[in-house]
Structure 1
Amino acid sequence: MCLFTDLLATATPMLAAAAEAAAPAAEKATPSGLQLVYEFLATGGFVMGLIVLCSMSAIGASILAWLQLREQVIMPGAVVSQLRAIPSYALKGDIRPLQEFLSHDGSMLSRLGSMAISGAFTSKQECHDACAIKAREEIHRLESGIPLLEVMVTVAPLLGLLGTTAGLVGMFSAFGSGDGPDTAVIAHEIGVALRCTIAGLFVAVPSVLAHTYFTRRLDALAVKVESIMQETIQHFYQHFEVQRPAA
């Protein structure tokens, strides 16, 4: 019993020293987050590279849509307040200050407002139809970036499926080798298949959310612009007499 106690007392410091020496090695062996991401992407093969390009395109399209669909860019508060002040300009009998203000502003609402109060149309309906056509052109320009998100929603899962199919082909090819199936090759091909599927869905799901959000936001802004333009045209033709110049 005493001999066992002596051996235990002698081995305990040695085990502690070994544990302390092994701890730094274990910390060094633990991969970082960037290394894990790199290994995940590198295992996916060439299809993973295409999925990464899709993700970069989706991010770029989202940033572009966010920059273009800001309310203060499309319909600044100063332009809205000036257009709603047409009755006060009518009391002064001069609409030219408002026309000059809108001509110096580069927003979408100012361009539509300049057309509405230009006096180039003899009737309110004619002005309304012309402004509606111009508004559709402006809305189409603001849609740049959103169709690309819709494309990524469709393409990214298909690329994931392509990578999955390629991984399965490689796995079954390993089963058909003459020396018997190579478990390392099979495990690698299964990893390729699963990683490509995960990456494709990882790109497609945020793209669906971004596409839905920006589409709804564009519709809401279009409704606001339409409401302001109807009010502007109504006030202008109510307070100012418009006559077409003689030919």
Structure 2
Amino acid sequence: MLELVKAGGWPMLPLLLLSAIALAIIVERFWALRRKTVLPPGLGGEVRAWAARGSLDPIHIDSLRRNSPLGALLAAALDVRSRPREEIRERVEDVGRHLAHRMERYLNALGTIAAAGPLLGLFGTVVGMIQMFLGIMDYGVGDVNQLAGGIGKALVCTAAGMIVAVPALMFHRYFRARVDSYLVDMEHEAIQLMDAIDPRARRVAVAPASAAAATAQD
């Protein structure tokens, strides 16, 4: 591996730096975007139970806000629970945008690395070809080592650029899809909570149950 890096020459240095940054971002995002960290299991049902019992105080809400991204979204809905449903929805959407931005942290950098990797590899290829042709000008076509060095630098840099770019692109798409999935689940939990704290929704839910009980008695 070290010989390949040496064969690629100095254009390999930025590629190695990008690969190290990409690896650090991938590991950090895997840790930060664990499902139990973003969407703790059972948290939505627990918060709805709080709302049903009326045991909502500032201490509970602040603790919920620090719990997880889902907790922060549900706490935002509880902060304005006494307002009309449309205002609660607007607050949830606003907080949701901030949480989405936080969960997508570093993903733009990972996408940039995926785009820049092949370009840096192409740059190394151009440098290698220039070196090869300068060698031909100085020593003629008889110096096989000079030709091989230029061609080797070109091929190694091209391969290194693709090796850096392909995993970065794959993980960029993967993390984007994971964040989108989390946002859908968080929106679903927020809607369920709004239904739980909305008196009109509770009346609509109770009415069919009362009608069914009356029919059973008849």
In structure 1, give the amino acid aligned to 2:126: T
2:22 maps to what in 1? 58
Contact 1:103 1:110 in 2 (8 A): no
CA distance in structure 2 between the aligned counterparts of 1:110 and 1:202, rounded to whole angstroms: 39
Residues 185-226 of structure 1 deviation map (CA, whole Å, 9 limit, x = unaligned) = 111111100000000000111111101111110100000001
Evaluate the alpha carbon distance shift between residue 129 and residue 109 of structure 1 in structure 2; reply closer, same or farther with a 3 A threshold: same
SS at match of 1:46: coil
CA distance in structure 1 between the aligned counterparts of 2:139 and 2:38, rounded to whole angstroms: 67
CA distance in structure 2 between the aligned counterparts of 1:202 and 1:179, rounded to whole angstroms: 33
1:103 maps to what in 2? 62
1:48 maps to what in 2? 12
For structure 2, list consecutive stretches of 5 or more residues without a partner in the other structure. Answer: 203-218
Give the fraction of aligned pairs with identical amino acids, expressed as a percent: 27
Q: List 4+ stretches of structure 1 deviating above 4 A.
A: none
SS at match of 1:95: coil
Contact 1:150 1:211 in 2 (8 A): yes
For structure 1, list consecutive stretches of 5 or more residues without a partner in the other structure. Answer: 1-36, 242-247
CA distance in structure 2 between the aligned counterparts of 1:179 and 1:200, rounded to whole angstroms: 30
How many residues get paired? 200
In structure 2, give the amino acid aligned to 1:103: D
The reply to whether residue 232 of structure 1 matches residue 182 of structure 2 is no
What do you get for the CA RMSD once the two structures are aligned?
Answer: 2.1
**Structure-2-length-normalised TM-score:** 0.84
1:41-190 matches, within 5 Å, as 41-86=5-50, 89-90=51-52, 92=53, 94-96=54-56, 100-105=59-64, 106=66, 107-119=68-80, 121-177=82-138, 181-190=142-151
- Pick the structure with more helix per residue: 2
Rg bigger for which structure? 1
CA distance in structure 2 between the aligned counterparts of 1:234 and 1:180, rounded to whole angstroms: 79
CA distance in structure 2 between the aligned counterparts of 1:232 and 1:179, rounded to whole angstroms: 78
**Structure-1-length-normalised TM-score:** 0.75
CA distance in structure 1 between the aligned counterparts of 2:60 and 2:165, rounded to whole angstroms: 44
Contact 1:47 1:159 in 2 (8 A): yes
CA distance in structure 2 between the aligned counterparts of 1:218 and 1:48, rounded to whole angstroms: 33
CA distance in structure 2 between the aligned counterparts of 1:222 and 1:160, rounded to whole angstroms: 36
